[in-house]
Structure 1
Amino acid sequence: MTEALRFLFGGRARRRWIHLILGGALAMPYVLVGSVIVGPFTGVNDVFASLPLQLGSFAVGLPIAAVTSLFPLTRPLESGAARALCGVGADALARGPARTRAERGRTAAWFTLHLGLGGIISGMSLAVPPFAVVLIVLPLFASLRDRPLGLPESLDHPWALALSPIAGLAMLLTLAACAAACGALLARWAPALLGPTPEDRLAAAEARAADLAVRNRLARELHDSVGHALSAVTLQASAARRVLDTDPEFVREALAAIEDTTRRTVGELDAVLGVLRDGDTPGTAPAPTLAADLDGLLRRTRAGGQRVTATVDADPAALPPLVSREAYRIVQEGLSNALKHAGEPVGLRISTADGHLEITVENPLDTCPAPRPGGGHGLRGIADRVRLLGGTSQAGASDGAWRLHVRLPLKGST
């Protein structure tokens, strides 16, 4: 019972009723145009004095409404009204004008359906309530039974007077049921007639995927560059503080490394944030590569007191630019993980074999400190970079050491 009352008189039903009344109001100009056509055709001057002629004018006006619905603004306006009043989800309706013939046809069908059902419900909403109220109060007012309103003589019988309030209530319930059913029908058909086509959905999905890919790439860049810089600066500052009074030369080297690290990171951060700012041009700081900054990366890492042994059996300058750039980030993240979580010494090996660039970062497990809270995105970022280049990556414990091993294909990486 509660569900039935909510379906007939709930907030959603009332909004859909308003949507139908709006359709009836939009139908009125077309009904007037139809009456101009029906009147001379039937030879009747007052078309609105006859219900059949009114319905004929309404039927003639609907095709005219279908033609005018081809204007570009019709679809966005109808979609907005259906979204606000019919309770249809925003993603289920298109926002732009109809572009193809099929979309224009569906828009015309929706507009005709909206105005047709809206005109019927509007007419019923104007005519039914006053007559129903008269039937409800008819037994209480004898003056109404003198037929000033043109009521039929059958209502003078006692049984008719007893049933007239019930009939009035039934008419009101029937009106509410018709309005609720028509509103539900429009809400059901709105996604099919006003919704985006499969091509539109595919284009939107591709746009979202492209946007997500850009966001993921920027997130990886920020994590790798800024995360590594903060880890390195923290370790360098901590090491410098411990030997401040005993090894001034080491302190100077650590401070110089901190300065170099922060300067480079600010440049990289500006380049990444430039992409995020609407209307701004991206920063001009070049993306670091193995050929340009491998030695600097190792120097800044060692400046914090971390023992790093590096074996490079490849020519960084001969690597494809994309591989060199992504390999730099992978090495940077591997060393960053070693700074935060690993023991000493850290071994780095870069070599080429079978048309692949191989990167290995390992450290002994028995000297690993307790894990620090937070993090957890570094290895995922490495896996994403490797997958985009068509390579493979492995990370985990092996033979008493923690090892990160990456293989990147050199051919086709342009």
Structure 2
Amino acid sequence: MRAFPRALFGRRARRRWIHLILGGALAMPYVFVGQLVVGPAVDARYVFQDLFLQLASFAVGLPLAAVTALFPLTRPLESGAVRWLCGVAPDLLAYGPARSRAAKGRTAAWFTLHLGLGGIISGMSLALPPFAVFLILLPALARFHADAVDLPASLDHTWVYALAPAVGVASLLALAACAAGCGALLARWAPALLGPAPEDRLAAAERRAADLAVRNRLARELHDSVGHALSAVTLQASAARRVLDSDPEFVREALAAIEDTTRRTVGELDAVLGVLRDGDTPGTAPAPTLDADLGGLLRRTRAGGLRVRCELGVDPAALPPLLSREAYRIVQEGLSNALRHGGPGDGADHGVALRVARAGDRLEITVENPLTGSAPCRPGGGHGLRGIADRARLLGGTSEAGPAGGMWRLRVRLPMKDPA
């Protein structure tokens, strides 16, 4: 029982009614233009005194509305109105200008339909309520003012006064039903006429993929630079604290390494955040390379008490820039894992072996550290191995990590040439 009144007078029905009335208001200028055409054509001075001429003017104005619907702002404005007033899901509508011929045709069809149904419902909304109120009040008016109502002789009967209120209420219900029906019809057709075309969906998917790629790249850069810096600084400070009284020279080296690490990390962080601020492509953010900073990376890692043996079988300066940059991040994350899971004590006893060499047409990076280390220095670990795998995959390479002979081994193979 409640569904019927809600369908006619509920919040959604009222908002759709407003949407139709807005369509009728938009139709009025076109009706006036149609009046200028119809009036001289039939030699009528006052077109709005004749219902037939009004409808003719309305019919002449609708094609003009279809033409003006080709303006770029029509679809965004109509989609916004449909979203808020008709209750259509946002992802079913397109909010950009119509580009293709088919999209423009659908937009023109929608605009014409909106103005056509809106003009009809607006006219009914102006005419029916006063007439219905008059019919509802007719018995009372006839009772107290018998001379005020001049009915034709054929209608001057008591049953007319009894039936008039029912007809008035029925007129209002019919108006509400027509408005609800037209509003539901527009809401049903809106996705087909205002929805995104296949090319719009493809463009949106490409934008989402590009945004996701940027976010993933930034996440990897932040994890590798900031995560490594925090791990290194934590262990450097821990090592310095343990030998504060016995080895002042080591403490000075550790503090210098902490200063250098934090300074470099702040610079890298500012560069990565600049991508977010300026909207640059991911590759434009400057990053260290093997050629520029491998020695500094090893020095800062060793300052935390971790003994690192490095074997270089390739000239870092001969590597392509992109490969050198990604290889640096992979080495950085491999050493960071050794810092977190090995710790300075194990590193001093067993050492960490780093090997960067050429294997055929590929660059091979191997990092080995003992499995007998202490617990990670930060609970829960991180996403370093996943980030390494992502970097290798994007370059067309492979990565593998796991225990091997009492050691934890990370091995990454990357093509020696930049991907096209």
Q: TM-score, normalised by structure 2?
A: 0.88
Which digits, 9 at most, give the CA deviation of each residue in 1:242-276, with x for residues without a partner? 11110011111111211221222222222222222
* Closer, same or farther: CA 182–130 of 1 in aligned 2, 3 Å: same
Worse-superposed segment, 114-123 or 314-323: 314-323
Structure 2 matches for 1:379-394, cutoff 5 A? 379-394=385-400
1:367 is matched with: 373
Instruction: Using the TM superposition, give the Cα deviation of residue 363 of structure 1 relative to its aligned residue in structure 2, in angstroms.
Output: 2.5
Which digits, 9 at most, give the CA deviation of each residue in 1:210-249, with x for residues without a partner? 2221222122111111111111111101111111110011
Worse-superposed segment, 251-260 or 142-151: 142-151
Instruction: Assess if the C-alpha contact under 8 Å between 2:231 and 2:377 holds in 1.
Output: no
Instruction: Using the TM superposition, give the Cα deviation of residue 162 of structure 1 relative to its aligned residue in structure 2, in angstroms.
Output: 3.7
Secondary structure at 1:141 match in 2: helix
Which digits, 9 at most, give the CA deviation of each residue in 1:327-363, with x for residues without a partner? 1101101111221233533332323223222222232
Alignment of 1:183 with 2:186, yes or no, is: no
1:140 is matched with: 140
Distance 1:145 1:54 in 2: 35
1:221 is matched with: 221
Distance 2:268 2:277 in 1: 15
* Closer, same or farther: CA 286–245 of 1 in aligned 2, 3 Å: same
Worse-superposed segment, 150-159 or 38-47: 150-159
1:199 is matched with: 199
Structure 2 matches for 1:1-400, cutoff 5 A? 1-143=1-143, 156-278=156-278, 286-342=286-342, 344=346, 345-369=351-375, 372-400=378-406
* Closer, same or farther: CA 375–131 of 1 in aligned 2, 3 Å: farther
Instruction: Using the TM superposition, give the Cα deviation of residue 22 of structure 1 relative to its aligned residue in structure 2, in angstroms.
Output: 1.1
Distance 2:154 2:302 in 1: 106
* Closer, same or farther: CA 405–39 of 1 in aligned 2, 3 Å: same
In structure 1, give the amino acid aligned to 2:131: F
Instruction: Assess if the C-alpha contact under 8 Å between 2:142 and 2:149 holds in 1.
Output: no
* Closer, same or farther: CA 151–259 of 1 in aligned 2, 3 Å: farther
Which digits, 9 at most, give the CA deviation of each residue in 1:160-211, with x for residues without a partner? 4444333322222221121112112222222332333322222232122222
Distance 1:283 1:68 in 2: 44
Distance 2:85 2:264 in 1: 54
In structure 1, give the amino acid aligned to 2:411: H
Distance 2:106 2:146 in 1: 52
Worse-superposed segment, 116-125 or 216-225: 216-225
Which digits, 9 at most, give the CA deviation of each residue in 1:18-56, with x for residues without a partner? 111111112122222223332333344333233222212
RMSD: 2.9
* Closer, same or farther: CA 399–346 of 1 in aligned 2, 3 Å: same
Secondary structure at 1:310 match in 2: strand
* Closer, same or farther: CA 202–376 of 1 in aligned 2, 3 Å: same
Identity over aligned residues, as a percent? 77
In structure 2, give the amino acid aligned to 1:326: E
Worse-superposed segment, 19-28 or 143-152: 143-152
Q: Which runs of 5+ in 1 are unaligned?
A: none
Number of positions where the alignment pairs a residue of Structure 1 with one of Structure 2: 414
Distance 1:16 1:149 in 2: 37
Instruction: Using the TM superposition, give the Cα deviation of residue 91 of structure 1 relative to its aligned residue in structure 2, in angstroms.
Output: 4.0
Instruction: Assess if the C-alpha contact under 8 Å between 1:20 and 1:114 holds in 2.
Output: yes
Instruction: Assess if the C-alpha contact under 8 Å between 2:16 and 2:183 holds in 1.
Output: yes
* Closer, same or farther: CA 206–157 of 1 in aligned 2, 3 Å: same
Distance 1:71 1:148 in 2: 54
* Closer, same or farther: CA 57–366 of 1 in aligned 2, 3 Å: same
* Closer, same or farther: CA 370–207 of 1 in aligned 2, 3 Å: closer
* Closer, same or farther: CA 152–113 of 1 in aligned 2, 3 Å: farther
Distance 2:388 2:279 in 1: 30
In structure 1, give the amino acid aligned to 2:416: L
Distance 2:338 2:154 in 1: 97
Worse-superposed segment, 120-129 or 43-52: 43-52
Distance 2:183 2:287 in 1: 57
Among residues 404, 407, 411, which one is paired with 2:413 in the alignment? Answer: 407
In structure 1, give the amino acid aligned to 2:245: D
Secondary structure at 2:278 match in 1: coil
* Closer, same or farther: CA 50–191 of 1 in aligned 2, 3 Å: same
Q: TM-score, normalised by structure 1?
A: 0.89
Instruction: Assess if the C-alpha contact under 8 Å between 2:141 and 2:149 holds in 1.
Output: no
Worse-superposed segment, 156-165 or 386-395: 156-165
Instruction: Assess if the C-alpha contact under 8 Å between 1:224 and 1:332 holds in 2.
Output: yes
Distance 1:278 1:394 in 2: 36
Distance 1:342 1:156 in 2: 105
* Closer, same or farther: CA 355–142 of 1 in aligned 2, 3 Å: same
In structure 2, give the amino acid aligned to 1:402: W
Worse-superposed segment, 174-183 or 29-38: 29-38
